[in-house]
Structure 1
C-alpha cells in the first residue's frame, strides 16, 4: 500500500512546497497583498456618489440672495466653492483644465429681479465628461435652490409655492450623457498600460531564464544602450494599438475629437515611454518571468481602481486620491479626456503632461541604477 500512497512522502512534498513558497517572497506577498488591497480599495476608496465636488462661483455682487444660493448649494454636500472668479473666461479655464466640476454663474442683477418679483436665473455649468459624477448634484439642484430663495425672502416653502427662480443647467462636453465618450478614451490608456508594462517587464527576466544574460552583459554596450534596445521596439507595438483604438473610437463609437491631433499624439508618446520604462524597471527587480507578471498585476490593479477609469476620482477619500496621483494612468486619463472631449490646448494640460515626463526620468534613473547593480 505504501507503494501507491505514503503519509511520509506526502508530508515531505508538502514541506518542500511550503519552503519554496517561503523563499519566493514576491509570490507569497501577492497571495496576501492582493486580497487585502482589494478589500481596502473596494471598502473604503470606491464611491459612486461623489461629494464635495470643486466648483467655481462667477458673480459680481455679494448680496444676501447670492450668499443664500451659495450656502444652499454647499449644504447639499455636492458643491465645494474653491474658486471665486470675476469673469467667465477665468471660469472657462478652470473647467477646461479639470480644476472644477461646476461653474455657478449668478448675474449681477439677480437680487434686483428677485426684489421686483421678476423671474431670476442662475446658470450652472457641469463637466459631464463623466456623466456619473455630476448626476447626483444636478438631480436635486432645482428644488434646493428654489427653497433657499423662498426662505431668504421670508416666504413659507411648499410644493405649490413658486419661487420665481429658474435654474439653467448646461452639461458641458457630453450633454447627452453618453458613457462611451468617457470610457473609450480611457480604454486607450488601460490597454496601453496593460500591454506595454507586461511585455517590457519580462525583457531582462527572459534573458536570465534562457541563460543568455551573460551574453548580454558581455556585449560592448552601455546600460543605457541596452535599455533603449529593449524598450524602443515596443513603441512600434504601441503605435499600432493607438491607431486601432483611436480608429474604433471614431468609427464605431463616434467619440468626438475636439482637440488637436498633434497634441494628443505627443501626450500618448510621453505616456507610452513612461510605461515601457516602468516595465523595464520591473524586469530589473524580478528574477523570473512569473515574478515580473505578478509585479505587473500588483501595479495594474490599484492603477485601474484609483485612476478614475472605473470609478469617479472625485468620489474617493483624500488619501486614495493622493495614492492615485502616483500612477501615470491617472494623469493620462485627464489629458486624453481634456483633449478629445473638451478641446483643451497645451496650457490646460501642461501640468499633467509635465508630471508624465517626470515619470519617464524617474523610471529611467531607477532602471539604470538597478541594471548597474546587475553588472556589478
Structure 2
C-alpha cells in the first residue's frame, strides 16, 4: 500500500471541480440558494405586517370624521385604498379579500362627539389570518385617544374619561382567532405542490434515464398526448390527497367547510386547476434536468419562494412591493386565496374570478412550454 499522495488527492479534486462545472444545475443551486435565502429572510419576511388594505364608508364628512381616517393612516398599519359607496360594496370587498379592515362612520358621529354622547364607529377586521388581524385591531383601538388631539378646542379638548368615542371591533370569518383555521387549509396547497411537482418531475426523469420515454415517442402518440396520458393518473392522486386533507382538517381541527353547492363547485374548479398546473410544472422540470437528483433540487428550490411569498407563512399584503409582484406569479398564492375564501368566507366562482384566471393562465403557459421542450429534447 503506497503512502499518502497529494498529487492523487489533487487529481481527484480537479476531477470533482470539473464534474461540478459540468453539472450546471447543481452549481446554480449552490450559488443561488443562499442568495435567495438572504433576500427572503432579510427583506420579505415580516412578522409585523403593515400597510394592510382598508376601506372606509363614512356617512359623516365633517372635520372630526376626516381626522379619524387621517389618524388611522398615520399608524402605518393600514392604507385606505377603497371608499365604497354602500355597505354591500364594502362587504363584497371584504369577502373577496381585497381589504383587511372595513371602517364605518355613522352620519351623526361628529355631532355626538361634540355633545359628549358616546359616539361609536364600526371596525370590521378580516380575521382569517390572526397575525394580520391582530395588528389592524390594535391600530384601530388607539383611535379614540389619538384622533382629536389637533381638532378639538376649548372644553372639548380637555382629557376626558371615557374617550370621546368608541371603536366597536368585529372580527369576521374567524372571530376567535384560531390559527389552525388559517394554517390547515393553507397546508393543502403546500402538500399538493411539494408532492405533485416533485413526484412528476422525478417519475418522468426516471423514464428518460431508463430510455422508456424514447420508446413512448416511437409510438404514434404526440408529445402532447404523452403528457396528458402521464398527468391524468397523478390528477387522481392529487384529488385523493385533497379529500384526505380536507377530511382530517374537519375531523381533527374543526376547520369550517364550504356551506353551499356553489362554494363546493368553485373550490373543486380551483383544486383541479391547481393540481393540473403543479403536475405540468413537474413535467416541465423533467424536460430541463438530466437526473432525478436535479429534479428534486429544482423542485425544492421552487418550494422556497412558494412558502414565503404566497401568504402561507406571512400576510401577503404585508410583503414589500417587489415580493408581492413575485408572489402573484406563484400559483400557491392564488390557490391559498381560493381555499381560504371558500372554506372561511363562503366565496363562490364570482368571488374567485381573478385567482381562477391566474391558475388557468399558469397552466396554459406551463403546458405550452412543456410540449415545446418535449419536442426539442426528444427529437
1:57 paired residue number = 56
1:62 shift after superposition: 1.2
Separation of aligned partners in 1, 2:169 and 2:147: 17
Separation of aligned partners in 2, 1:357 and 1:16: 46
Runs of 5+ consecutive residues of structure 2 not aligned to the other structure: none
Note if 1:293 corresponds to 2:292.
Answer: no
**Contact 2:196 / 2:278 at 8 angstroms: preserved in 1?**
yes
1:18 paired residue number = 17
1:144 shift after superposition: 2.9
1:44 paired residue number = 43
2:339 paired residue number = 336
2:215 paired residue number = 215
Separation of aligned partners in 2, 1:220 and 1:136: 60
Separation of aligned partners in 2, 1:288 and 1:48: 38
> Which stretch shows the higher mean deviation, 111-120 or 299-308?
111-120
Separation of aligned partners in 2, 1:166 and 1:73: 14
**Distance 1:293-1:99 versus aligned 2 partners, 3 A rule:** same
1:257 shift after superposition: 1.3
**Distance 1:324-1:9 versus aligned 2 partners, 3 A rule:** same
1:177 paired residue number = 177
Counterpart of 1:56 in 2: which secondary structure? strand
- Equivalent pairs counted in the alignment come to 374
Note if 1:242 corresponds to 2:245.
Answer: no
What is the TM-score normalised by the length of structure 2? 0.95
**Distance 1:9-1:253 versus aligned 2 partners, 3 A rule:** same
Alignment of 1:116-155 (within 5 A): 116-149=115-148, 151-154=150-153, 155=156
Separation of aligned partners in 2, 1:75 and 1:169: 19
Separation of aligned partners in 2, 1:157 and 1:263: 55
Deviations 1:109-163 (A, max 9, x none): 11121222211100000001000002122124233333313542224465x6433
Separation of aligned partners in 2, 1:70 and 1:124: 12
Separation of aligned partners in 1, 2:378 and 2:322: 39
Note if 1:105 corresponds to 2:104.
Answer: yes
> Which stretch shows the higher mean deviation, 7-16 or 64-73?
7-16
2:204 paired residue number = 204
1:45 shift after superposition: 0.7
**Contact 2:334 / 2:359 at 8 angstroms: preserved in 1?**
yes
**Contact 2:101 / 2:136 at 8 angstroms: preserved in 1?**
no
Note if 1:276 corresponds to 2:279.
Answer: yes
Aligned-residue CA RMSD in angstroms?
1.4
Deviations 1:239-263 (A, max 9, x none): 1111110001100000011442222
Separation of aligned partners in 1, 2:238 and 2:142: 49
2:87 paired residue number = 88
Separation of aligned partners in 2, 1:183 and 1:108: 39
Note if 1:319 corresponds to 2:322.
Answer: yes
1:215 shift after superposition: 1.2
> Which stretch shows the higher mean deviation, 179-188 or 51-60?
51-60
Separation of aligned partners in 1, 2:158 and 2:97: 36
1:356 paired residue number = 359
1:102 shift after superposition: 0.4
1:306 paired residue number = 309
**Contact 1:307 / 1:330 at 8 angstroms: preserved in 2?**
yes
